[in-house]
Structure formats: C-alpha cells, structure tokens
Structure 1
Amino acid sequence: MTTLLVIAKEPRPGRVKTRLTPPFTPAQAAVLAEAALVDTLRAVASAPARRRVLVLDGTPGAWLPSGFDVVPQCAGGLDERLADAFAGCEGPALLIGMDTPQVTPQLLTVDFADSDAYFGPAEDGGFWALGLAEPAPELLRGVPMSTSATGAVQRDRLVAAGLRVRDLPLLRDVDTAADAEAVAALAPHGRFAAELARLHAATGR
C-alpha cells in the first residue's frame, strides 16, 4: 500500500493564497485555501493508503479529519521540504499539495507494480503530484520551484535516474482568481466551489 502525503500551509490570512488578493481580501483567500485543503484531505481520506500524512507548516485546525498523522515541515526551500517529506516514508509514497481541490480518490489510487514513479503535471508548468516507489529525496533537492520549468526539470530528474515514470492527468492549480473559477467549475459539489459561490454572493461579484 502507498503512503499518501499532503504538503500544506495552515490556512491563515496573509500566509496562504496571496495571489488571490485582489480581488479577494486576505481573510477571504484564507477561507478559500481552507476549503481547498478540506476537499484535498477528503479525497485522500477516501483513497486506499497504508498511511495518510499531513506535512504541515503551522498548526492543525478543525478542518483536519481523523486518520491523518501530522508532521511539521522542515526549514528551507520548497525542494528541501518536499525531499524531507519523502525521507520520512518507508516504501511507496505519493505526495500532493493543497492547490488542487478537484482531485479525486481515483486519481490518488496508484499502483507501483509496473512503475518506479508517478508524475502529475500542472498547467502552470509545475506539478501537482509526485510518487516514488522508494524514498529518493535527492531527486527533489535542487529542483527550481515555482517556475514555468519546475515540472519539466523534476520529470527529467526522474527519467535521468532510470526510473519508469507514469504520468497522471494534467490538473490546474488554484493560484489566481481565474484559476479559482475554473477549478470550482470542475468540482461544483465540493467545499471549494461552495465557498467561492458564497463569497460571490456576499460581495456581489
């Protein structure tokens, strides 16, 4: 069975989803971030897993369901934090972020029987999922994060290491207001879509 990892920030105003402001306020952006995290954790909770781990920058809140181990993120850049998350695992692990509330349990149900790695590309050039049959944190350290080439560099690292890579579907991260609208339309019954609709109704936007 696979360990499912979610790397996330505590959804506090001013610390999360800052590219949503404007048009949203920092408090509204935090509400949307929490909703995205809730949808993500629900999908993970419904997917088969040996262990479910939230790798958290911050403190857990009422949004955290049961069945998750919580470990703190290490210091350093995102590449170091992702590498450290994998280093804490034994056996196969699949890591995702909190930016794709449209993710489903089906997308997270992976089988490493005929592959060494899974790679989930994001529309912005990054990646929304990374799976490794065996922990290999050195494959993440030094990868430039938050650029349009991040995904390509990371996937090339996997291939150069001789791993058999299986690609997951392309997904859109929620970074901007346009992203939020598009992703909510893809998952209209989730918490994220409901909170976005509520904010629109409250603000008249």
Structure 2
Amino acid sequence: MDAAHVTFLVIAKEPVPGRVKTRLTPEYTPDEAAELAEASLADTLTTVAAVPAAERVLALAGRPGRWLPPGFRVIPQRGDGLDERLAAAFDDACTGHPLVLIGMDTPQVGTRLLQQAAQALGTHDAVFGPAADGGFWLLGLTRPDAGLLHGVPMSRSNTGRVQLDRLRAAGLSVASLPVLTDVDTAADAEAVAAASPDGRFAAAVRRMREGRAVRA
C-alpha cells in the first residue's frame, strides 16, 4: 500500500521537565531529560512529516510547542491507562484510512521504515514493530479497531507479546518490522544516538556528554 493512503498517528507527551523520561535521571537532570524527549519527538515528527500520508495526527498529552511541524492534526489524549489512551487515539484519529501508530521514543526511525510499514498493509491486516524492552514501537492496521488495544497490559516485558497474540487471536495476518530500542534509560539514549547520529536527538546526547566532560 502506498503511504499516501495511510494515516500516521504519533502519540506523545509534551516534553515538560519532571514529567517525561524520568528514567533518564539521575544520569541526566530533569531539564536534560525533557530536552532529550523534545529532540526525540522532533525527530519523530520530522520523519513522519517527510512521508506521504493521507493524514498526519498527533495525539498529545499537553500543549503543542516549537517542535511541532506544520501538517499535523493535533488531538488530546483521552483515558487513564496507556492502553485506554492508545485505543482512544485510534478511535479519534481514524477517518476511514489504514492507520499506523508510532510513539515518540524511537527517534532513529527513518522514512524507509514508515514506508515499509505502509507497504505491509497492502498485503497484511496488521504490521507490528517490536521493541527491545518487550513492548512495541509501531502498530498498523488496515481496519483500525481500538478494541485490539484496550486491555493490553502496558509497560511490561511481555506487552509486545500480548499485543501480538491479541492481533493473531483476532484472525489478522501480521507483518513484522525490525526490533528497535525505545529511549527509556541513559544506556538506551547512548545506543540510539550511536545508531542514528545525524538527528537532533543524537546531537543533544553528544552535547550533554561533552558538557559533562568539560565540567569533570
């Protein structure tokens, strides 16, 4: 399927110190963690903006900032747990097109992978991107169904397996994408920056590393 026929949905938090990427501390200060979150989000949105799409949607907890490029419809997140927020975002973003959901924690994602996800929906009912921590970084459906996300236990080592089992139990054919590392810890940040050295996220990691070296 051509990406121009797919809705791309990004789910994200406003990068506010003390509210995002708290697991990056104490290696990073809360302000630095928020700066890294903003860089990760900006890289992700820039990548999504560079892919042809039927629509681009940002499901946001908080307020838009300077990191938001033009061309996105912004919707508020709804629900309590992450599964509820993801399910609600699927419902609110759906306009009849196949839908691909991605988070803000994999700034190394390039346009090729997003185009690959869209293409997979031309031959499969779903496309799934597993994360190294046991979660998932992307989920796409030719026929968006929020019920496939509601009730899946999130932020656990088996989240991805449970979600994948849910898709298969519904009788869906599932295409798989490569395993990617979510940025959760300081070690993750270094690994992702090394894997994708040209983005804003990698530049922020290098700048903070060099700043520590100067102060040492």
TM-score, normalised by the number of residues in structure 2: 0.93
Q: Which residue in 2 is equivalent to 1:106?
A: 112
CA distance in 1, matches of 2:193, 2:12: 19
One-letter code aligned to 1:170 = V
SS in 1 for 2:151: coil
**Which is richer in helix?**
2
Match of 2:159 among 150, 154, 163: 150
Give structure 2 stretches of 5+ with no counterpart. Answer: none
Q: Tell me which stretches of 4 or more aligned residues in structure 1 moved more than 2 Å.
A: none
Kindly state the Cα deviation for residue 47 of structure 1 after the two structures are TM-superposed: 1.1
- Partner residue, 2:189: 180
1:50 equivalenced with 2:59 (yes/no): no
Q: Equivalent residue for 2:38?
A: 34
**What number of residue pairs does the alignment pair up?**
205
Whole-Å separation in 2 of the counterparts to 1:34 and 1:113: 33
TM-score, normalisation: structure 1: 0.98
Identical columns (%): 63
CA RMSD of aligned residues (A): 0.8
| Partner residue of 1:87 out of 85, 91, 94 | 91
Shift of 1:201: 1.5
**Deviation (angstroms), 1:113:** 1.8
User: Where in structure 2 are the equivalents of 1:127-146 lying within 5 Å?
Assistant: 127-146=136-155
**Preserved CA contact (<8 Å) 2:54 2:97:** no
Residue 203 of structure 1 and its aligned partner are, at CA, apart by: 2.0
| Partners of 1:8 and 1:82 in 2: CA distance | 10
What is the DSSP-based 3-state SS (H/G/I as helix, E as strand, rest coil) of the residue aligned with 2:12?
strand
Unaligned runs of 5+ in 1: none
| Counterpart residue number, 2:80 | 76
Q: Aligned match of 2:22 in 12, 18, 22?
A: 18
Contact 2:130–2:160 at 8 Å: present in 1 too? yes
**1:85 positional shift:** 1.1
2:131 corresponds to which of 118, 122, 133: 122
Paired residue for 2:65?
A: 61
